[in-house]
Amino acid sequence: MADSPQEIQKAVRKILWIGAILIVFTVITVALSYVELPSHSWNLIVGMIVATFKAALVALVFMHLNHEAKLIYKILAFTTVFALAIFLLIYFTSLDPLEFARF
């Protein structure tokens, strides 16, 4: 945790930088969405990669996840696994080879 005044000053500069980067990438996201990639899935994938990058910046820097107590990482790791489970498993049930799932 940045606690001494100098460290806080440094942190402030970093925050402003990251804020600027986020804005730039927001513009990039919007622009990219108007570019026609080979298929719309590509647009989705690229868009999600950019969004994930931005989200990572927010989480790592703004929410100081780049240096946090180990316990927080553990909690978030499990949360991520379960969140992925609910994404992927539900998604897979709609992709079964027998195509039963699609009503």
Partner 1 sequence: MDIPYTVTARPDTGLYNAKVGIWLFLASEVMLFGGLFSSYIFLRVGADYPWPVHELNVTLGFINTLVLIGSSVTVLLAWASLKLRRIGAYKLYMLITVLCAATFMVNKTFEYKAKFEHYSVTLTDGTILTGHLPHGYSLEFGDVKTLNLTVAGKTSAVDADPVKYVLPYVKGDVPKFRTEAGEEITLDAASFAKLKAEAHAKAVEKAKAEQLKEVPNWSVKLTAAAPLTFSVPPSKLLAKPAPGATMIAFRDGTSVEGRMINDKMTLEVDGVDLRATPDKEKSLAWNEHYLGSAWKKAFIEQRDHAIAEFNEKYGDGKGGTTRDPNKSATHQKHQFFMHLHSAKPESHGADGAHKAEAHAPAGHGEAHASHHPEVQLERKDVQFFSNFTPKLNSYYAIYFTLTGLHGMHVVAGALVLAYFLVCNGRMLREDPERLANRVEVGGLFWHFVDLVWIFLFPLLYLL
Partner 2 sequence: MSAAAHTHDHTHDHAHDHHEPGFIGKYVFSTDHKVIGIQYAISGLLFLLFGFFLMLLMRWSIAYPGQPIPGFDIVSRLPVIGGIFNEMIGRWAPGGVVNGELYNMLGAMHGTIMVFLGIVPLGFAGFVNFVMPLQIGTIDMAFPRLNMWSYWLFFISGVGMLASFFLGTGSVQTGWTMYSPLASTTAVAVTNIWMHGHTWWLLSMVFNISASLLGSVNVITTVINLRAKGMSWMRMPFFCWAMFIVAFLLLLAFPPLEVAALLQFSDRVFGSSFFLPTGLMEGGQHLDISGGGSPLLYQHLFWFLAHPEVYVLILPAFAILAEVIPANTRRPLWGYKAMVYGGLTLGFLSFLVWAHHMYLTGMGTMMSTYFQITTVLISVPSVILLTGLMISLYGGSIRFTPQMLFASAFLPMFGIGGLTGLPLAFTFIDLALHDTYYVIGHFHYVVAPGSIFAFFAGVYHWYPKATGRKMNDLLGKLHFWPSLVGMNLVFAPMFIQGMGGFHRRWYDGGKYFEQTSSASNWFTELTSGFFGLFGMEVPNNLLGLNVLMTFGAIILMLGQVPFILNFFLSIKGGEKVTSDNPWNCTTLEWATPTPPPHGNFTFDIVAVRGPYEYSVPGMNQDYFPQWESEPGKAAEPSAVPSAPAAAAHH
Closest separation in Å from C-beta 90 to partner 2:
5
By the rule CB under 8 A, 80 interacts with partner 2: no
The single residue among 1, 27, 71, 77 that binds partner 2, judged by CB under 8 A, is: 71
The total of other beta-carbon atoms located within 10 Å of residue 33's CB is 13
By the rule CB under 8 A, 98 interacts with partner 2: yes
Are the C-beta atoms of residues 57 and 24 closer than 8 Å to each other? no
CA distances from 90 to 23, 100, 102 (A): 33, 14, 12
Query: Which residue matches tokens 């946090």?
Result: 68
By the rule CB under 8 A, 3 interacts with partner 2: no
* Interface ranges with partner 2 (CB under 8 A): 70-71, 78-79, 81-82, 85-86, 89-90, 92-94, 96-101, 103
